[in-house]
Copies of this chain bind each other. A is one copy, B any other.
Amino acid sequence: MGRTGQRVAITMHDVAKLAGVSIKTVSNVINDYPYLRAETRQRVLDAIDKLGYQPNLSARGLRSGRTGVISLIIPDLRNAYFAELADSVMRAAASDGLAVLIQQVGGLRAAELEALHGPRMTNVDGILYSVLALDDNDVDQLDIPTPLVLLGERIFNGPTDHVTMHNIEGVKAATEHLLSLGRRRLLAFGAHPGEVIGSAGLRLTGYRQALDDAGIPFDPRRVVNVGNWHRSDGAAAMREFLAKGVEFDGVVAFNDSIALGAMRVMQEAGIRIPADVAVIGFDDIDETRYTLPTLSTISPGMEEIATVAVRFLRERIERGARAIPPREYLANFSVIQRESSAL
């Protein structure tokens, strides 16, 4: 069959014959083997050019065990956060000559396991896995032969590298920012009941720490659960919360999307932002710069996360999946003040 979808493919053999050398020499040229006569190399290069030869990546992958492809497991590209993460990862990977196979798993446990253990992993050099459905109890599931780097907050102390953000410190800083504006009745917006180790759990901890440090009593009525973290979920949760009549003058939202959904609902209800309620989000997705008002947020250092994650993965690919002890990396964050928390 030969090259995908085509009946006849040009192989190294054809190039070798045309250049009057052996197939090994062609391989040497392609792989930049240094000890080649310049004239030989040029003859091979000419032949490659003339025939339009392209190396067959499946064959190379089979023989060498390297495909030049890494897989990125994420819940959902419609979530702006993950779309931006994917973009950053692809840029970082591209500069290492790696292609990225994105696997959307929609937060489904079975799909995440399939992506980790299914046959597709025989075809990629490594996996970047943004954990959502698995948690600390599933650490065993991460013991796979393929080089693996974890993103996200659900699993710490796994058998491999983990690159993530300062969740607690970031939300603590966000909360302190609203406190510094004189706001005292702050919503923790985006909690997941009972969760401790996921993003929602950590961020709630950051919120509580900031209140504690400021000597402000924690009021559980001001903890608002938001199941998923899409805009629509934030809107729905805020609608429901407003119906309860609990007073508040600030919103610490656990991500930007739900902050924007909530902001929209508050504005419908005649609440002025930031005059009546100050709002801060988390993620610094692009659209926070263009909403009305623009949204203050925590920039979690996504570019840094992507770069480091790809570097860690490349190191594991090159030196062996288990050759490096597990590493933990936390990217730097910063508070971005915009109109939604202006003075």
Q: Which residues of A are in contact with B by a Cβ distance under 8 Å?
A: 1-6, 9, 54-59, 61-67, 69, 76-78, 80, 83-84, 86-87, 90-91, 94, 99-104, 117-126, 145-147, 231-232, 235, 260-261, 263-264, 267, 286-287, 289-292, 316-317, 320-321
Q: What is the CB-to-nearest-CB distance from A33 to chain B, in angstroms, rounded to a whole number? A: 18
Please report the C-alpha to C-alpha distance between residue A337 and residue B128 in the assembled complex, in whole angstroms.
41
If A101-B100, A264-B292, A289-B231 touch, whether A124 touches B84 (CB-CB below 8 Å) is: no
Residues of B within 8 Å of A102, CB to CB, are 86, 90, 100-102
Residues of B within 8 Å of A267, CB to CB, are 292
Residues of B within 8 Å of A4, CB to CB, are 61, 65-67, 121-125, 145-146
**A232 adjacent to B78 (CB under 8 Å):** no
- Chain B: CB-nearest residue to A119: B54
**B78 adjacent to A84 (CB under 8 Å):** yes
What are 26 sample pairs from A and B whose C-beta atoms fall under 8 A apart? A1-B64, A3-B65, A4-B66, A4-B125, A5-B317, A5-B320, A54-B118, A55-B119, A56-B62, A56-B123, A58-B61, A58-B122, A61-B123, A76-B87, A83-B83, A87-B104, A90-B102, A91-B104, A99-B101, A100-B102, A231-B287, A232-B289, A261-B290, A263-B292, A264-B290, A264-B292
Count identical subunits in the complex.
2
Residues of B within 8 Å of A125, CB to CB, are 4-5
Residues of B within 8 Å of A261, CB to CB, are 290
Apart from A61-B123, A77-B90, 15 more pairs, CB < 8 Å: A1-B64, A3-B65, A5-B146, A54-B119, A55-B119, A56-B62, A56-B123, A57-B122, A67-B123, A77-B86, A99-B103, A101-B102, A231-B290, A263-B292, A264-B290
**Residue from B58, B76, B146, B231 in contact with A67 in the complex, judged by beta carbons closer than 8 Å:** B58
**B77 adjacent to A87 (CB under 8 Å):** yes
**A321 adjacent to B290 (CB under 8 Å):** no
